[in-house]
């Protein structure tokens, strides 16, 4: 069964879809053993480059990271997150997606929904490209972080948005910071799987930004479970190195030629 088919049929497999982001070959190598989907996310802008928001990252920079990530993926699905202003109309989307597929050999792309770009998504899926949707808090289009779908009118809008994305041919959809009951409702309403980030256990799968989960990003909203603080561990290690260098304990003879 191809990975896309497996993702689509995940409800029959009766287990959740496991997804994380990766921006480099060494980390993708570890993730590939445990994840169904690895997302080369535009969160690289904030988590890796320290940019103010994800709108600043350039397509070519993301492509370089995806080339690195691709090198160690053997079994997971590699999804490339199309960055801001690269799919504003059909012509632009086709040109940039073609470039991404050619250069990175990714399996699918992800488009953030702005509530209107369903036709662009449909054009891409009609030409055989695998597309993942993304609704709720969509950082490319929403300036301030806030939970989504708390008001009735927002709820209706998100339900329709999800359905439009499914009808446009997406194979899965990310729900970001969508209220619990609404995430449950949307998941029930759709045939394609939902992948939640801050959107409850009722989604068909979960995604987190790896750098948040390992405690390296410095950004830990309540939907993040920080499994380890690599920052703390690295602080200890680098401090030891510093002491070794200062005290002339490194390098030893065994470290020399």
Q: Which of 63, 197, 214, 216 binds ligand KIV (CB under 6 A)?
A: 197
CB of 75 to ligand KIV, least distance (A): 20
Q: Which is nearer to ligand KIV, 46 or 179 (CB)?
A: 46
Q: Which is nearer to ligand KIV, 7 or 207 (CB)?
A: 207
Cβ 38 to ligand KIV, closest distance in Å? 11
CB 113 within 8 A of CB 84: no
81 scored as a contact of ligand KIV (CB under 6 A): yes
What distance in Å separates the CA atoms of residue 124 and residue 128, rounded to the nearest whole number?
7
Of 14 and 192, nearer to ligand KIV (C-beta) is 192
Owner of token pair 């597929």:
101
By CB under 6 A, the residues from 19 to 48 that bind ligand KIV are 21, 39, 41-43
Q: How far is the CB of 243 from ligand KIV (least distance, A)?
A: 36
Distance in angstroms (rounded) separating the CA atoms of residues 200 and 148: 12
Is the Cβ–Cβ distance between 153 and 161 less than 8 Å?
no
Binding track, positions 82-121, relative to ligand KIV; x by CB under 6 A: ----------------------------------------
Least Å distance, CB 233 to ligand KIV, is: 23
Which of the following is catalytic: 112, 155, 166, 176? 176
Rounded-to-10 torsion of CA 94, 191, 188, 19: -60
78 contacts 107 by C-beta, under 8 angstroms: yes
SS3 state of residue 48: coil
Q: Which is nearer to ligand KIV, 96 or 254 (CB)?
A: 96
Give the C-alpha separation, 101 to 91, whole Å.
16
Using CB under 6 A as the binding rule, the residues of this chain from 207 to 246 that contact ligand KIV are: 207, 209
Residue nearest to ligand KIV (CB): 41
Nearer to ligand KIV among residue 81 and residue 204 (C-beta): 81
Backbone dihedral angles phi then psi of residue 198, each to the nearest 5 degrees: 65, 30
Rounded CA-CA distance 47/215 in Å is 11
SS3 of residue 50 by DSSP: coil
DSSP state letters, 148-166? B--SHHHHHHHHHHHHHHH
Q: Which of residues 155-184 bind ligand KIV (CB under 6 A)?
A: 174
231 carries an active-site annotation: no
d(CA 23, CA 42): 9
Q: Which residues bind ligand KIV (CB under 6 A)?
A: 21, 39, 41-43, 81, 174, 197, 207, 209
Residues with a known catalytic role: 176
């Amino acid at each position: 069964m191809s990975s896309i088919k497996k993702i689509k049929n995940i409800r029959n497999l009766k287990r959740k879809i496991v997804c994380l982001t990766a921006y480099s070959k060494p980390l993708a190598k570890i993730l590939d053993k445990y994840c169904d989907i690895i997302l080369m996310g535009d969160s690289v802008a904030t988590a890796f480059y320290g940019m103010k928001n994800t709108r600043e990252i350039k397509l070519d920079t993301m492509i370089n990271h995806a080339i690195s990530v691709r090198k160690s993926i053997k079994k997971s699905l590699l999804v490339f997150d199309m960055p801001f202003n690269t799919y504003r109309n059909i012509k632009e989307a086709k040109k940039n997606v073609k470039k991404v597929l050619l250069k990175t050999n990714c399996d699918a792309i992800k488009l953030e929904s702005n509530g209107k770009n369903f036709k662009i998504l449909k054009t891409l899926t009609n030409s055989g490209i695998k597309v993942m949707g993304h609704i709720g808090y969509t950082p490319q289009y929403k300036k301030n972080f806030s939970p989504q779908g708390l008001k009735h009118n927002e709820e209706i809008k998100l339900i329709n948005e999800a359905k439009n994305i499914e009808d446009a041919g997406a194979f899965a959809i990310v729900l970001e910071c969508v209220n619990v009951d609404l995430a449950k409702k949307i998941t029930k309403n759709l045939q394609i799987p939902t992948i939640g980030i801050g959107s409850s256990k009722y989604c068909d799968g979960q995604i987190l930004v790896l750098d948040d989960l390992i405690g390296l990003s410095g950004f830990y909203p309540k939907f993040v479970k920080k499994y380890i603080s690599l920052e703390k561990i690295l602080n200890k290690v680098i401090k030891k190195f510093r002491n070794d260098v200062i005290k002339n304990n490194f390098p030893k003879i065994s470290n020399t030629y």
